[in-house]
Amino acid sequence: MGLVRASGAGVGWRSPQRAAGPSARFRWIEGRSGVVPDSPVRRHGPRDTTGGWTPPSKARFVFHRWKRSEHRAKSAALALRDVRVGRRSWLPCGARWARGLRGSPTADRGDGSGRRFHEGAHADRPVRPRRLSRCSRPAAHSRAALLVHPSLGPSQSSRFAREVLVSSSPHRTGAQIRREFLDFFGARAHSVQPSSSLVPNDPTLMFVNAGMVQFKDVFTGKEQRDYKRATTSQKCLRVSGKHNDLEEVGRTPRHHTLFEMLGNFSFGDYFKEEAIGYAWTLVKDVWKLDLDKVWVTVHHSDDEAWDLWTRKFGVPEARMQRLGDKDNFWSMGDTGPCGPCTEIHYDLGPSMGDCLKGPAGESDRYMEFWNLVFMQYEQFADGSRQPLANPSVDTGMGLERITGILQGVTTNYETDLIEGLMAVGAEQAKIDMKTADEERMTALRVLADHSRATAFMIADGIIPSNEGRGYVLRRIARRAIRWGVKLGLGANPFFHHVTSAVVDQMGEAFPELREREAFIREVVKGEEVRFGETRDKGLALLDEALAKVSDGTLDGTTVFKLHDTFGFPSDLTALIANEKGIKVDMAGFSEEMEAQRERGRAAWKGSGSAGVDRLWHSLLAEHPTAFTGYTDLDDAARVVALVHDGAKVDTLPDGAEGVVILDRTPFYGESGGQVGDTGTLTAGGVSFAVSDTRKPVPGLHAHHGSARGGALRVGDKVQASVHAVRRNDIR
């Protein structure tokens, strides 16, 4: 294990052997938890001829051990951050810390802290730190900084030294905040449940967009569970609707595609007093927020909540507000459970606006970070409401928002949850984030945000396509790639490096990322390569079309052609057009899309409604499917038929979408209300990403998706692998 020299010098990479030479002086920083106090560092060179111990002006480098994993060393990138650290600062590091120090003489630091540092004849000797066992390792340590420079490939020794620029923030990491929230409620008899898939078991939703979605049937009484209290950190995706427009991502402080929602839930157990008490204890006693900056809103009719906040928990009425249904009343839909809510806000200060109306105003100054919903009514179709016999509680807190508050920053992009990913993009593009202009910073924010959404969507079995959820993924991924091209990237695939960093950062909290790491990298890289093949031609066509615009609006036919021929999502075309002050005829584009769908339906039907039935019955007669999915999720099979554009074909080209028929399959086909499986079919270097499995006729399983890495042919032997996590989620 090597040691690192702490100094104000530039960032560099040294092997342990070179770094630990006799002419260099080094210092171990020791700690058992996610954060440790800074240590004095021996200066060296002409600036310090005394050899005395002095506090560092810049805490630049910290060493840690890294698991011996070549594929991680190749796929991740170093997050760089230059910061200044004072004598009493704490250095958070989301990694294992270098441990151990030889030299028994100790001396007081002299700063009144009572902490001591080691100094002695062997202080400079490298010591192999003892391995941290799973039991002794801090449960809350973050992997946010576990990013490896691309230059450290498989040819490098797995035992190396690394220089890490460490944040000077005295605050918790995002991973610690997540852990503290779950531990807090877990200690109060809440069942800690894992996040559900982004793909909901709810036909009314495209994606899971709130923590309560996985408990919807529990709240409505359709499902019973063996616990009455639960807590989660739920991954959520919002790509449309109020305050969630894709175009705002990267340009505003808090717009995101993917975010985490921390939540605690009561299913007919505790209610307002306990819910408010838990929230106030966490905010006041655990996280110790500045209470002078905390504001609370309640529904104008909810006197009980008002009295609890003011009389029992002591919130001054001057920082309390009553608001109407728009802000402080929640319902599941036109019918079903509903009720008032109370929201906790934080005053970010006058730099975010001079609004004096508190949360009732429209300023960004007052940020809502926790919403407590009290489901106490049943709403009926006629609009009437009746009290519920067993009222429930549903709360939601944005992890990115509370992390920003606790880390003392005003935008989510400055938190360690996202800034490290921005640094990966900056490293790829050779950009100094301290001096970059706003347009480049916007591009880095988009890359970081979209990389999170892309990685999580693929991990949950969503594959880029031109329909449904797959199209949303394609829009997000290609939008990120286009922003990367604006940074000068794009000559070679780059986006998969950023999504790999997402896996490294969040894989501990969300194991499905690690389980699907290779597949995520493969899909992202393949999508980037395919988009690159048509991007330049599409941009040339778009530039030509924009140059001909005379009325300020690009016609929908051109937008559709770019979408259909060159793989340009419509919102990407709109983004490029808007940069030149030109609007896009989205209504015309929608008409062209609907016309294409009609043509597709007609092609499947042939000359009559029985056309499609004849195709499937013909395939069934020739190649009935043996279903093995009751006992296996992975099985060897043979391709017996391929369908493309409504007709049987012998070959499905690389990148083409189609249907694969196998002689046997572990993939469950959609029927009886249960959705079909997703996964992969692999044949050597060729894979087929299964985005859906259907049973067009009983006895025949049709695997819908697209070929990757080469052409798939009739007769190929494949390994059919079901996405197990998703199967379990939808079972």
pLDDT in tens, 195-230: 999 988 887 788 999 999 999 889 988 889 999 999
**What sign does the CA torsion over 198, 199, 200, 204 have?**
positive
Residue with tokens 């259907």: 694
- 10 Å CB burial of residue 590 (0-12, 13-18, 19+) is middle
pLDDT at 316: 95
The long-range contacts involving 156-161, CB below 8 angstroms and separated by at least 24 positions, are: 156/73, 157/15, 158/66, 158/68, 158/69, 158/70, 158/73, 159/1, 159/16, 159/68, 160/2, 160/15, 160/16, 160/66, 161/1, 161/2, 161/3, 161/4, 161/14, 161/15, 161/16, 161/19, 161/63
The residue among 300 and 11 whose pLDDT is bigger is: 300
Domain-embedded: residue 61: no
Mean pLDDT of 290-313: 95
**What's the chain's Rg over C-alpha atoms?**
28
pLDDT digit string, tens, across residues 127-158:
333 333 333 333 333 333 333 333 323 333 22
How many other β-carbons are positioned within 10 Å of the β-carbon of residue 203? 8
526 pairs with which residues across the strands?
none
pLDDT digit string, tens, across residues 366-402:
899 999 999 998 888 888 888 888 899 999 999 999 9
Residue 182 — pLDDT band, cuts 50, 70, 90?
very high
Does 429 score more than 80 pLDDT?
Answer: yes
What residues have CB less than 8 Å from 467, skipping those under 6 apart?
none
Average pLDDT, the chain: 75
**DSSP for 571-611, written as a single string:** HHHHHHHHHTT-EE-HHHHHHHHHHHHHHHHHHHHTTSTTH
Nearest to 264 by CA among 367, 191, 314: 191
Q: Show the DSSP H helices in 15-56 as ranges.
A: 16-19
Query: pLDDT > 70: what percent of the chain?
Result: 72
Residues 554, 646 within the same domain? no
pLDDT at 102: 31
371 pairs with which residues across the strands?
343, 396
Find out whether 87 and 38 touch, Cβ atoms under 8 Å: yes
∠ CA 595-597-603, rounded to 5° = 105
pLDDT at 721: 92
What span, in angstroms and rounded, lies between the C-alpha atoms of 233 and 280? 19
Domain-embedded: residue 641: yes
Residues 550, 667 within the same domain? no
Domain-embedded: residue 31: no
Residues 651, 688 within the same domain? yes
The pTM (predicted TM-score) of the whole model is 0.61
Residues 712, 594 within the same domain? no
* Type and span of the H or E element at 722: strand 717-722
Mean pLDDT of 16-28: 33
What span, in angstroms and rounded, lies between the C-alpha atoms of 445 and 461? 25
Q: Tell me, what CATH number does 227's domain have?
A: 3.30.930.10
pLDDT at 120: 39
Nearest to 309 by CA among 336, 283, 286, 329: 283
Residues 331, 436 within the same domain? no
Does 3 score more than 70 pLDDT?
Answer: no
Mean pLDDT of 521-528: 90
The residue among 191 and 551 whose pLDDT is bigger is: 191
Residues 644, 585 within the same domain? no
* Type and span of the H or E element at 440: helix 438-459
pLDDT digit string, tens, across residues 24-80:
332 323 333 333 333 333 333 333 333 333 333 333 333 233 333 333 333 333 332
pLDDT at 309: 96
Domain-embedded: residue 74: no
Domain-embedded: residue 459: yes
82: left (phi over 0), alpha (psi -120 to 50) or beta: beta
What residues have CB less than 8 Å from 69, skipping those under 6 apart?
158
Q: Angle 468-486/570-579 helices, nearest 10 degrees?
A: 30
Residues 294, 245 within the same domain? yes
Residues 252, 396 within the same domain? yes
Q: How many residues does the chain have?
A: 731
Structural domain boundaries, residue 659:
616-730
Among 604, 624, 659, which residue terminates a domain? Answer: 604
Among 604, 633, 649, which residue terminates a domain? Answer: 604
Residues 588, 621 within the same domain? no
Does 9 score more than 60 pLDDT?
Answer: no
Find out whether 588 and 553 touch, Cβ atoms under 8 Å: no
Does 113 score more than 80 pLDDT?
Answer: no
What residues have CB less than 8 Å from 599, skipping those under 6 apart?
none
337 pairs with which residues across the strands?
378
pLDDT digit string, tens, across residues 447-505:
999 999 999 999 998 888 877 888 889 989 999 998 998 898 877 899 999 999 999 99
Residues 583, 650 within the same domain? no
Residues 440, 358 within the same domain? no
Domain-embedded: residue 350: yes
Total domain count, the chain: 3
Domain-embedded: residue 254: yes
Residues 290, 388 within the same domain? yes
pLDDT digit string, tens, across residues 231-248:
999 999 998 654 456 778
Domain-embedded: residue 20: no
Q: Tell me, what CATH number does 624's domain have?
A: 2.40.30.130
Among 604, 626, 654, which residue terminates a domain? Answer: 604
